Chain A
Amino acid sequence: MKLNRTEITRAAEGLALPFTICIVWYVVTARHLVMPDFLPSPGDVLAAFRELLGNGAFAYNLRISVLRVLKGFLIGSGAGYLLGVILGMSKLLEKMITPLFNAVRQVPLPAWAPLMVLVSHGELSQVLFISIGASYPVVLNTFEGVRSVRAEYLEVAHVYRFDRIKTFLRIFLPASFPSVLTGLRLSMSVSWMAVVAAEIFMSSGGGMGEMMWSGRELSRMDIVFVCIITIALVGFSMTWLMRKLEKTFSFWRITMKQSR
């Protein structure tokens, strides 16, 4: 991929603030304006990062978290997609299920943590926890995408006598795809947030969240900082990737808007 001028400018604009923060951070810690127990210096954090890389803890925990997120994301968004399609295609089921869905959705994600213990004490409960959070955006966006399919296209399907399956595959599926991708992107970022919470609430079997929490217990703020920065960067990259995918697959929607 070749970067063009505007992309470089945009990257520079986006990096200006983090860079400034780093400088302020460095100055504040170098002059001992804050107690090092609370705020480690960039040098300390870098050293901790090297240490964690050296003993393999970083790679180990990152791998566990990423795999866990992917599992939770796949299960949650898969189930969310199915539910979204069902609600979108059937007015009756929408009326029956939506009120319950909307009520359940009001429960903040961390409130599910105690209940997850009922399921298991390990991996499964964490994955399930993530998938709950991951499902909502996909349900909502898939529903929206299916519902906003233009009636004119369905008339074309009627004229050519598509059956239900063909109508779904040829119209609902592609027409709702950009919207579904938006849901998947949001879902991905929720999943990544949820994995950290899951690993803190239901700590077992490692992960970034657990490493961060144990860093706190050991009063190793440098480790906590390594974790926070890693979580932020990984989450950012995942969302960025999803946004790229979204653009690739919805080329016709974007250009259609422009031509109107």
Chain B
Amino acid sequence: MDTKGTLEIKHVSKSYRGRENDVHVLDDINLSIKSGEFISIVGLSGCGKTTLLRLIVGLDSGYGGDILLDNRKLNGPSIDRGIVFQDHRLFPWLTVEKNVALGIVGKSEKEKQAIVAGHLELVGLKGFEKSYPYQLSGGMSQRAAIARALVNQPEILLLDEPLGALDALTRMYMHKELERIWTEEKITMIMVTHDVEEAVYLSDKIVVMSAKPGRLQKVIPVPLARPRDRASLDFAEMKEKVLEEFMLHTEHHFAYTI
């Protein structure tokens, strides 16, 4: 079995030095993610989900415990992990093409061109190579950001609320696209979100986190067949199950329907 993109998070804790006492952001997080899984981390603001993601990508350091990628301990950022931020973070002074090419490491110009073209096609941005970020809509910018994150063929793609700034319809469309990209690329994806429906639609497992300090509250497997139907009863039940963790579910009273 392929083990590329296997992530082991063992007893990870993280605190920031505060003015009076240290702020505990993450407390004893244990999680193992299999190769090719789609994981969503759901939680309220301040539960440390973004911090966890930043630790995995290597933007933050100085934590307790271990994070192992394919049984190797992480050491700073590397091209085996790609990240898509909530704000697309494309460089406004570069065209889409150049933005996507930016991250490619150790390839000839010709190879670079081919990689960029391939990835722009993958994310559905063919024909926008020469556009500047300000000429793109929010959804298109995020597609470009996804392409940029994928060019080095990372084993894991980290998504930090990637669709949070998009309108509801574009977001649903992007869910489909993201699922397609995930199926085509066959890589592990970890997405931080606070949209429960998004999590249910995309994930193999949903990790629910609680705040202050950030703890792993529950891991909920989503055994629904893909592509998923938002209108189905199973989907709704799954959603309820996740919302229960936040005390947000509605009580269903017994009733007859004809």
Chain A residues within CB distance 8 Å of chain B? 152-153, 155-156, 158-161, 170-171, 174-175, 177, 251-253, 255-256, 259
Per the CB 8 Å criterion, the residue count for chain B at the interface is 21
Query: CA–CA, A251 to B131, complex, Å?
Result: 13
**B57 in contact with A159 (CB, 8 Å):** yes
**B59 in contact with A161 (CB, 8 Å):** no
Contacts of B134 in A (CB 8 A): 252, 255-256, 259
Chain B residues within CB distance 8 Å of chain A? 57-59, 76-79, 83, 85, 87, 89, 91-94, 102-103, 105, 132-134
**B102 in contact with A161 (CB, 8 Å):** no
Query: CA–CA, A177 to B102, complex, Å?
Result: 19
Contacts of B59 in A (CB 8 A): 155, 158-159
Name A153's contact: one of B76, B79, B91, B132 (CB within 8 Å). B91
Query: CA–CA, A163 to B103, complex, Å?
Result: 12
Majority SS at the chain B contact face? loop
Query: CA–CA, A170 to B104, complex, Å?
Result: 13
Query: CA–CA, A202 to B248, complex, Å?
Result: 81
Contacts of B79 in A (CB 8 A): 160-161
Query: CA–CA, A252 to B59, complex, Å?
Result: 27
Name A175's contact: one of B57, B93, B105 (CB within 8 Å). B93
Asked, given contacts A155-B59, A255-B134, whether A174 binds B91 with beta carbons under 8 Å apart, the answer is yes
Q: Which 6 A-B pairs have the closest CB atoms?
A: A252-B92, A174-B93, A160-B103, A255-B134, A159-B77, A252-B93
Name A252's contact: one of B78, B83, B132 (CB within 8 Å). B132
Q: How far is the CB of B134 from chain A (nearest CB, A)?
A: 4
- Closest residue of chain B to A157 (Cβ to Cβ) is B102
Query: CA–CA, A160 to B132, complex, Å?
Result: 21
Contacts of A255 in B (CB 8 A): 132, 134
CB pairs A–B below 8 angstroms (22 shown): A152-B89, A153-B89, A153-B91, A155-B85, A155-B89, A156-B85, A159-B57, A159-B103, A160-B77, A160-B79, A160-B105, A161-B76, A161-B79, A161-B105, A170-B91, A170-B102, A174-B91, A175-B91, A252-B93, A252-B132, A252-B134, A256-B134
Query: CA–CA, A255 to B87, complex, Å?
Result: 17
Query: CA–CA, A155 to B102, complex, Å?
Result: 13
Contacts of A152 in B (CB 8 A): 85, 87, 89
Query: CA–CA, A139 to B223, complex, Å?
Result: 61
Contacts of B91 in A (CB 8 A): 153, 156, 170-171, 174-175
Q: How far is the CB of B151 from chain A (nearest CB, A)?
A: 10
Query: CA–CA, A256 to B134, complex, Å?
Result: 6
Name B78's contact: one of A155, A161, A259 (CB within 8 Å). A161
